[in-house]
Structures are given as C-alpha cells and as structure tokens.
A = this chain, B = another copy of it.
C-alpha cells in the first residue's frame, strides 16, 4: 500500500504550512460531484473500500521523507510529516448506492493538514470506481435481465483499472468477468471462450471447434464470426452433433449486424434441436446499443462488454471535488 508521496505537491506545501504554524484544528472536507456527465441522471457511489485502505496505511516511510527532502522540504517539515497518521472521521455513502450531483459522497473530518494531504488519493479512487460503477449500472438497466460479462481488461487504463472495472461491474449486476486475476481476487465468476486467432491456427474452422470442444467439454461457446458467421454456426452445430456435446453450449457473435445474425443463428440452432444453446453478443457495444437490441427482441442471451465500459468512453471522468466546508467550527465553503 502507498505511502504519503501519493499526493500532489501542493497538498504537501499546504500541510507543511499548517503543521509549522500549529494549525491543528479540525476541518471538514466534502467530496462530491459538481455536475453530472452529459445524459446522466445519477451516479452509483463506489470506491469507499480502497479509500479506507489508503487512509489506514497513510504515512511516510524514511525513504519517502528523504525524497521530500531532495524536493526542498526542510527538516522541520520532514519531522512534522514523519509522525502523521490518519486520525479523524469518515462519513460516506455505502458503495452501490445512487448519488446525485452536489450530494456528498464522502466527508472527512480531521486535523486540517491530514485532511488536506489525503485529498488527491480520495478523489482519484472515488472518481475511478464511481465512474465505472455508474456506467455499469446503465448497462444493467439496458440489458433488462439478460446476462452481462465484463470484457474490458485490454482497454482499461492499466491493471489497477482493470481490477476496478471487474469489481465495479459486479457491484452493478454483471454476472461474470473475463479477467482471471480479478475473478480470483474478488471471488467472481469468470467467463471466456476463444479468439479468432485460435480458429486461424487450425487448418479449418471445424477442426478448431472440435479441438476446443474436446479440450473444454461441458461448457463450450463457439466464436462463429471468423470467416462467415452463419456458416460458423453451422460448423458449431456439426461439432456439437459429431461429439455429442452436452452441458452449456452457445455461440458468440462478435461483429456484423448482431440483430439479424442473432435471429439467423437462433433459427439454425432451433432447427438443429439446440433450443437450449445460448447466443452471446459482443463487439464494442455501448449501453444504448444493448438496449436497442433488447428492445428489438434480438434473441441474445448475454452480452460481453468491454471498451465502452472499461474506459466509460462517453464520460471518462466525473467532475468530483473535495471542498473545505468547515474549519475550526467556521463554515468556509467557497
């Protein structure tokens, strides 16, 4: 866990002044979102858990104090920093609850230097998790009960954000993630099938399907759009029949006109007696496209959601602020 350097320089500049001057009275800072992103009516609060972890471990190691010394902080400031730990109160909206603009998500009441120093990480974490949980909730609403699987790992802003989107989407109702580390860490269901490269590594699509089904029996989803999508569905059906496959079966559509292809695939599967086989759709879908498919009655059972969720592409940040509202009993909200 991080030390005290995980902050902007100005927090340290201000804290040094407060400490040097004996300004240790209690301040209350409020973290809220000033304005909602365009076309958003609400946010889903998230990130509290990691904020509390960061507050609990907040301190400066010897190496960190040395680094601050080399940046120009004097011995007095370093000595003041060396004993700091988080002591104060945190009030917060529980994760997963709806919040609106101007409504406090989290409030910190602590000696002003400490409350100031933790601003940057609190904003960073609440912004990340709340942005992602809010976007995920929009998918959950749009999907009207169909299953949602989080596929964002390759597009997120680093590995930490990949873990955050798996966690936040689970909080908002997603049923599984493709992220193996996140599934292991948070106890989530994990899902995934094969890539186009797997199909291309075999001489024919049918041979690739057969190999995969032999190796992963009991739960097989065939990626059918490498060459010709409905041809791929037919090859999947042949493989299922040839191998007498049971268990959970499905096809995944990753490109093209998903509504038309889902209807075509459904008809082929039903004609082959595979009414229980699922249709899984993916391919850069935003929540409005998911809702359009659902409302049109496309026979899609589950959606894989990646880029547009993981970087919450239409609203990559929220306008969160951490405002001093009270200091030493004096109201000071700007």
Q: Which of A185-244 contact B (CB under 8 A)?
A: 190-198, 200-201, 211-212, 215-216, 219, 226
- Chain B residues closer than 8 Å to A245, beta-carbon distance: none
Q: Which residues of B contact A21 (CB under 8 A)?
A: 211, 215
Judge whether A162 is part of the interface by a CB distance below 8 angstroms.
yes
Q: How far is the CA of A195 from the CA of B327 in the complex (A)?
A: 15
In the docked arrangement, what's the CA distance between A2 and B158, Å? 12
A159 within 8 A of B: yes
Is A23 at the interface (CB under 8 A from chain B)?
A: yes
Complex Cα spacing A18 to B201, Å: 9
Is A116 on the interface with B (CB-CB < 8 A)? yes
Interface-facing stretch out of A124-132, A139-147, A269-277, A285-293: A124-132
**Interface contact A183-B71, CB-CB below 8 Å:** yes
B13 & A181 in contact (Cβ 8 Å cutoff): no
Q: Please choose the segment from A82-90, A99-107, A259-267, A307-315 that sits at the chain B interface, where 4 or more of its residues have CB less than 8 A away.
A: A307-315
Is A120 in contact with B154, judged by CB distance below 8 angstroms? Answer: yes
Inter-subunit contact A200/B153 (CB<8 Å) = no
Which residues in window 2-50 of A have CB below 8 A to B? Answer: 2, 5-14, 16-18, 20-21, 23, 27, 29
Set B13, B155, B320: member contacting A192, Cβ < 8 A = B13
In the complex, which residue of chain B has the Cβ closest to the Cβ of A15? B198
A121, A216, A320 — most chain B CB neighbours (10 Å) = A216
Query: Given the complex of chains A and B, what is the CA–CA distance between A200 and B11 in angstroms?
Result: 14
CB closest residue in chain B, given A66: B184
CB distance from A231 to the nearest CB of B (A): 15
Contact yes or no, B196 A27, CB < 8 A: no
- Nearest CB in chain B: distance from A200 CB, A: 4
**CB-based contact B157/A29 at 8 Å:** no
Q: Which residues of A from 68 to 96 have beta carbons under 8 Å from B? A: 68, 71-72
Tell me the complex Cα distance, A284–B29, Å. 21
Expressed in whole angstroms, the Cα–Cα distance for A323 and B216 within the complex equals 23
A136–chain B nearest beta-carbon distance, Å: 14
Closest to A333 in B: B200
Q: Say yes or no: is A134 at the interface (Cβ < 8 Å to chain B).
A: no
Q: Which residues of B contact A6 (CB under 8 A)?
A: 159, 180-181
In the assembly, what is the distance between CA of A158 and CA of B122, in Å? Answer: 10
Residue contact A71 to B128, C-beta cutoff 8 Å = no
A-B contact pairs, 27 of them (CB 8 A): A6-B159, A8-B151, A8-B154, A8-B179, A8-B180, A9-B178, A10-B195, A14-B195, A17-B198, A17-B211, A17-B215, A17-B216, A18-B201, A20-B215, A23-B201, A29-B197, A64-B184, A67-B180, A116-B197, A119-B154, A123-B154, A124-B153, A124-B162, A157-B157, A158-B161, A161-B161, A196-B334
For the complex with contacts A9-B191, A13-B216, 6 further pairs of A-B residues with Cβ separation under 8 Å are A2-B181, A11-B195, A14-B212, A156-B157, A158-B158, A312-B316
